[in-house]
């Protein structure tokens, strides 16, 4: 079970970025996304619609209190990785994280938005950086998932999809299923 937790969603300011976090989580191998911050039914719906059209399974959830949710997940045996530019380099930590996952099979990857509360750094089992440069939680999540799943995520199969792309050297080929 591989989950992503997105902290501090702001309805007016982050709609597209939070959508990209959710779609990236889904496309690159996570089993679900949990949003926190401002409640936004439109965001949950739009991710749900993509998962319905392009295949699943993929869980979408909103929680008001992310600290409580993380403590519950921790009690259930989840390892917690927090992606932050201040953390230890992903390339040095990834094998330890994989080793932990092989035992518990439960991981939650946390990505923030602007300011992440100090408590998050304490709750995390790993604070991990994808470079120590400012860039994007979407990019950090993508590189982390790609490193963690070692490229196997690129070939993930999605069940019960209504559409399917056949890769082309030029142009588009999309198959729609009844």
Q: Which is nearer to a copy of itself, 42 or 64 (CB)?
A: 42
Q: Sketch the per residue contact string, 77 through 106, with a copy of itself: x for CB under 8 A, - otherwise.
A: --------xxxxxxx---------------
| Whether 22 contacts 6, CB under 8 Å | yes
What is d(CA 168, CA 3) in angstroms, rounded to the nearest whole number?
Answer: 31
Contact 51, 155 (CB under 8 A): no
- What is the contact mask toward a copy of itself in residues 105 to 134, using x (rule: CB under 8 A)? -------------x--xx-x--x-xxxxxx
Q: Which two tokens stand for residue 155?
A: 């070939």
Q: Which of residues 3-22 bind a copy of itself (CB under 8 A)?
A: 13-14, 16-17, 20-21
What are the strands, taking DSSP E only, across the chain? 2-9, 32-37, 59-62, 79-89, 107-111, 126-129, 163-165, 174-176
For binding to a copy of itself (CB under 8 A), which residues are involved?
13-14, 16-17, 20-21, 23-24, 26-28, 50, 54, 85-91, 118, 121-122, 124, 127, 129-136, 138-143, 146-147, 151, 153-156, 158, 164-174
């Amino acid at each position: 079970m591989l989950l992503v937790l997105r902290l501090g969603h702001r309805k007016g300011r982050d709609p597209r970025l939070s959508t990209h976090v959710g779609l990236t989580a889904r496309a690159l191998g996570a089993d679900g996304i949990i949003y926190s911050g401002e409640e936004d039914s439109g965001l949950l719906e739009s991710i749900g619609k993509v998962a319905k059209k392009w295949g699943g399974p993929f869980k979408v959830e909103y929680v008001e209190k992310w600290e409580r949710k993380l403590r519950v997940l921790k009690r259930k045996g989840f390892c917690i990785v927090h992606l932050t530019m201040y953390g230890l380099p992903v390339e040095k930590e990834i094998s330890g994280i994989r080793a932990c996952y092989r035992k518990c099979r439960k991981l939650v990857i946390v990505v923030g938005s602007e300011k992440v509360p100090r408590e998050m750094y304490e709750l995390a089992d790993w604070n991990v950086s994808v470079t120590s440069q400012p860039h994007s939680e979407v990019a950090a999540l993508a590189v982390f998932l790609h490193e963690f799943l070692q490229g196997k995520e690129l070939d993930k199969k999605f069940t019960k999809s209504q559409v399917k792309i056949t890769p082309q050297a030029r142009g588009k080929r999309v198959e729609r299923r009844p």
